[in-house]
Copies of this chain bind each other. A is one copy, B any other.
Amino acid sequence: VRSVSGGEEDVASKPVRADAQRSLEALLQAAKEVFAVSGVNAPIREIAGKAGLGVGTVYRHFPQRSDLIAAVFRREIDECANAAIDLAAHHGPFEALRRWMQRFSSFFATKRGLAGALHSGETAYEALPGHFEVRLRPALQALLTSAIAAGEIRADIAADELLGAVAALSMSGNAEPGQVSRMVALLADGLRRSDPG
């Protein structure tokens, strides 16, 4: 709850040996993949096996399942925020924004159970909405600001409402994946200035 720094900083600030950090990374990656396929209640044994670790090691890192789930989501939020930097470095302002909106949308693709978990009252999840806000809003705001400065998009849309809109489109019940990305693409295209100058 008190943690405000990113996941990587948390890890680096502890005296974790390099191999322990590698096993933590492997564990989080394995958990992410298993959760995406089997949901957040998948057997810990399956996650440990995929990471090449013993079940005891998993429980040593994360005594409660909710701790592991929170760590996976936190890492995904960080990865999504960091993707904004990569995209801005490799694409023009509007193109970077357009691609990031799709990247953010894909964040929700395998997270049908996330909303339920966040409202479950588990203390492990308490910091996640704040982390989401602290990392993703500024990431999108920076992309918007660049594209506005370049004259590529309209200037009257706030990062908050755009995050909410992409999330709503991405979590809408019975949409197939292609449908979500087409609708998010419409939203991005709608940002473009129709009256350049």
Binds B, one of A68-76, A134-142, A186-194: A186-194
Tell me the A171-195 residues at the B interface (CB within 8 Å). 171-172, 174-175, 179, 182-183, 185-192, 194
Contacts A168-B168, A169-B168: A191 and B186 contacting too (C-beta < 8 A)?
A: yes
Q: Which residues of B contact A179 (CB under 8 A)?
A: 161, 164
Would you call A157 an interface residue if the criterion is a C-beta within 8 Å of the partner chain's C-beta atoms? yes
Copies of this subunit: 2
Classify the interface of chain A: helix, strand, loop or mixed: helix
Among B161, B171, B186, the residue within 8 A (CB) of A175 is B161
Q: Which residues of B contact A156 (CB under 8 A)?
A: 182
Among B162, B164, B171, B187, the residue within 8 A (CB) of A190 is B187
Which chain A residues have a beta carbon within 8 Å of chain B's beta carbons? 156-157, 161-162, 164-165, 167-169, 171-172, 174-175, 179, 182-183, 185-192, 194
